[in-house]
Amino acid sequence: MNLRDQYIKDGYIILRNFFEKEKLVSLKEEFLKIGNNFEKEILEYEFVKNLYLNDKFVNVIKILLNTDKLVYFSDSSVVKHNNVFSPSNGYHNDSRSEDYNFSNEYPLLRVATYLQESINISGGIKIKPGSQNYFCFTLRDFKQRSKIFIKKILSRDKNFNFKLLSNGVQPKMEVGDLIIWNLRTHHSGTSIRYKFHKNLSLHPIIEKILPNFLKIPCNDRVAIFMVFGNKNFNNHYLDNYIKNIQNKRRIKYENLERLKSNLLKYNIQFIPSRINDT
């Protein structure tokens, strides 16, 4: 099965040893310095640009989205946690302002790079294979989602799918692996490994209840996230998502024209976020 077929089937894909482990380890301190600065465009850092803006990386994204032209709009971040037990966990998806017509492919994906392994320690990701094809029950925006769910069921929308029960997996990932998922795919961050059973994968709600002394910590967790869209995909999903991001994010750009030019070399259209003037 090729990359595109695997992505369409499971809603995500893991590319093993995509980056050189030693390279990522050497960059961790640099990523820690810029972590949680959500007003900065991370591709304006030279070391970040060099890591991601290359044919090897960009071509994978194009293959998965089945396009020769991408769009990028500063929905990127370097996230760090000193304590992975403190963030609220829970299955969710990242799609925004959509119609839940699951007969249509969602034309956006998220790329994640973790700078620590998730085989023996906590801090990885949980993900539900194939879940991009059905509705996500989550506590996030619960009231609004409940209204949508009821409306879809009452209308007997044949393009609407849901599952009351589904299982997630907790991939074992090494430093250097790259994971990419469709924004509809159900997932949960900062997953937990247990001292008494490293391979046990529990629901995030149960993870929060269990005492921390049973869990294996992850110090200085760092993860890099980026979103790309299929520019050739002509429907409202892309526009709605970009507008949602532009309404929420304020980015301080150092040089918009240079960033645009760097992306254009790889046939990536750049749409800036709303600029922070303060």
207 pLDDT above the threshold of 90:
no
User: What is the distance between the alpha carbons of residues 256 and 267, in angstroms, rounded to a whole number?
Assistant: 16
Q: Exposure pattern of 154-190 as b/e (b: 16+ CB <10 Å)?
A: eeeeeebeeeeeeebebbebebbbbbbbbbbbbbbbb
Strands (E), 21-136: 70-72, 76-81, 108-114, 125-127
pLDDT for 145 equals 82
Report pLDDT digits (tens) over 118-173: 999 999 999 999 999 999 988 777 778 888 888 888 888 899 899 888 888 999 99
pTM of structure: 0.94
What are the backbone dihedrals phi and psi of residue 91, each rounded to the nearest 5 degrees, phi first? -65, 135
274 pLDDT above the threshold of 70:
no
Q: What is the mean pLDDT of the chain?
A: 91
% of the chain beyond a pLDDT of 90: 70
One DSSP character per residue, 86-117 reads SSPP--B----S----TTSPP-EEEEEEESS-
39's CB contacts (< 8 A; 6+ apart) are 250, 251, 252, 276
276 pLDDT above the threshold of 60:
no
Categorize the per-residue pLDDT at 61 as very low, low, confident or very high, splitting at 50, 70 and 90.
very high
Averaged pLDDT, 206-232: 92
Contact 130, 201 (CB under 8 A): no
Report pLDDT digits (tens) over 78-126: 999 887 877 666 889 999 888 999 999 999 999 999 999 999 999 999 9
Report pLDDT digits (tens) over 250-263: 898 999 999 999 99
Averaged pLDDT, 177-206: 92
Categorize the per-residue pLDDT at 242 as very low, low, confident or very high, splitting at 50, 70 and 90.
very high
Averaged pLDDT, 184-193: 91
Categorize the per-residue pLDDT at 277 as very low, low, confident or very high, splitting at 50, 70 and 90.
very low
